Amino acid sequence: MNNDTLDPVTDDRDKLAQIFRQQKAFNTYLQVTRTHAGNLMKDYEIEIRELVLATIVEAVEVLNEINWKPWKIQSKPISEERLKEEIIDLFHFVIELAVVVKMDSEEFFELYQKKMKINIRRQNADSI
pLDDT at 33: 63
Q: Any idea where the domains of the chain sit in the sequence?
A: 3-126
| Contact assessment for residue 25 and residue 5, using Cβ atoms and an 8 Å cutoff | yes
Give the class (CATH, top level) of 3-126: mainly alpha
Q: In a 3-state reduction of DSSP, which class is residue 126?
A: helix
10 φ, ψ (degrees, to nearest 5): -125, 5
pLDDT in tens, 13-54: 688 999 999 999 988 888 766 655 555 556 888 889 999 999
How many CB atoms sit inside 10 A of residue 67's CB? Answer: 13
pLDDT in tens, 65-97: 998 888 888 778 899 999 999 999 999 999 999
Contacts of 16-22 with CB under 8 Å at 24 or more apart are 16/105, 16/108, 16/109, 17/104, 17/105, 17/106, 19/95, 19/105, 20/95, 20/98, 20/99, 20/104, 20/105, 20/108
Long-range contacts of 86-89 (CB under 8 A, 24+ apart): 86/58, 86/61, 86/62, 87/62, 89/58, 89/61
- Residue 7 carries which DSSP code? S
Distance, in Å, from the CA atom of 123 to the CA atom of 39, rounded to the nearest integer, reads 47
